[in-house]
Structure 1
Amino acid sequence: MKNSRTLAILVVFLCFACTSSLVTVEDDSYKNFDLTAYKSFGFMDIENTNPSNPEFEKAIDLLKQEVAEGMEARGLSKSENPDLKINLGLVVEEKVQTRTTSLATDPFMYTGQRNYTWQSQEVPVNTYKEGSVTLHLVDSKNNEAVWVGSIDRVVPKKEEKKAEAIKFAVEELFNNIDQN
């Protein structure tokens, strides 16, 4: 069971490694976005749909911290009246990893009747959480999105790895912004 879990995680990472970018940008009109045109940033209010979940608040705080560091590293300063507003979205879903049965690994059993039918089916092998972070950069003057991107990743089960995963996701988002 542990080998299949390790193999599944390896396959997920290899699939992501084969893509040119892990970030999905919603619209081609954002490709001319220039972050250097802005001097200050601020965060929009975030609605917590599950206030009883302390993990959500912790993840949002880590996201804000990483995004603020990324903005400051690019010369923007945090302000109460910013040129650029940042709207963060975070969704975490429980997912089930499955595999398809085959005659080689899951042969049918003879039950005493002349019923020898067998068909392939999906069987669960693991559960995991997938997180999606969406970053909306909104021009304060026009109140219009100037760049929107998102990244989907498997959320690590170990607490100490979650901060690393958030840092990686934010770095990927900024790498995509910097390519413009």
Structure 2
Amino acid sequence: MKTIQGFIMLLLMGVTACSPYRIVRNERDSAAPWTTYRTFAFVDTSRVDPAPGTIEFRSTMEQVKRAVATELTKRGYRPVSEERSTGQPDLLVNIGAVVNERTQTRPTTIYEAPRYIGQYRYHWQSQDVPVGTYREGTLSVHIVDARKENLIWDAAVSSVLGKKGVTSEQINDAVSKVFTKFSAGNA
């Protein structure tokens, strides 16, 4: 009976450890006074015209903002709203998203080489052959000390995107994954 329970635990650990999200960057300024920060606000991007200016892009970025705000609130930070400004926030949060088209490749094998027909100095070398394309999305989160205007945390998470777009659950999972590496002294 113990072996079955052990196998189930091992299986569950393996399933939960496999994440479709990959931390690309996680740089933290350890000299920043993390215990003094209490409030945050997002960088005002209303004057910037986003390149993909679609409604879908804007709604996706709003979902990302909500997910980031949730993660920061879990860690003890309070949002400062622009409508009822109670002063300057301690932290400014900037979010960026990039989608790149990637090509999937595979190496050739010796069995795919052309037949040798007696040429002098014949040489065969493995090559990468394209087999398909996919989209990879990268989400960047930059946290800035608002008073000093100094970058104190820079992180990014990357994942392969599906053909149907990104769901709010995927956004929440990706933001949660990037914030697993966020360690500040405020929580």
TM-score, structure 1 normalization: 0.70
Higher Cα radius of gyration: 2
1:62 matched to 2:67? The reply is no
Q: Which structure would you say has the larger RCO, counting Cα contacts within 8 Å and 6 or more residues apart?
A: 2
C-alpha spacing 1:63/1:36, structure 2 compared with 1 (3 Å): farther
- Structure 2: stretches of 5+ with no match in the other structure: 1-16, 83-87
Look up the equivalent residue of 1:72 and give its one-letter code: T
Contact 1:26 1:149 in 2 (8 A): yes
CA RMSD of superposed structures (Å): 3.1
What is the alpha-carbon distance in structure 1 between the residues aligned to residue 123 and residue 49 of structure 2? 50
> Size of the alignment, in residue pairs?
157
Q: Which moved more, 1:132-141 or 1:148-157?
A: 148-157
Q: How far, CA to CA, are the matches of 1:48 and 1:130 in structure 2?
A: 23
1:64/1:26 Cα in 2 relative to 1: closer, same or farther (>3 Å)? same
User: Would the alpha carbon gap of residues 174 and 94 (structure 1) be closer, same or farther in structure 2, given more than 3 Å must change?
Assistant: same
- CA distance in structure 2 between the partners assigned to 1:72 and 1:66 by the alignment: 10
State the Cα distance separating 1:67 from its structure 2 match. Answer: 0.3
3-state SS of 1:134 partner:
strand
More helix by share: 1
| Contact map agreement 2:35 2:184 (CA 8 A) in 1 | no
TM-score, L = length of structure 2: 0.68
Equivalent residues in 2 for 1:84-163 (5 A)?
Answer: 84-104=91-111, 106=112, 108=114, 120-159=126-165, 162-163=167-168
For 2:152, give the aligned amino acid.
V
Q: 1:57 to 1:109 in 2, by over 3 A?
A: farther
Q: Is this contact kept in 1: 2:27–2:154, CA < 8 A?
A: yes
Q: 1:119 to 1:48 in 2, by over 3 A?
A: farther
Shift of 1:114: 7.7
**Match of residue 8 from structure 2:** none
Identity of aligned residues (%): 34
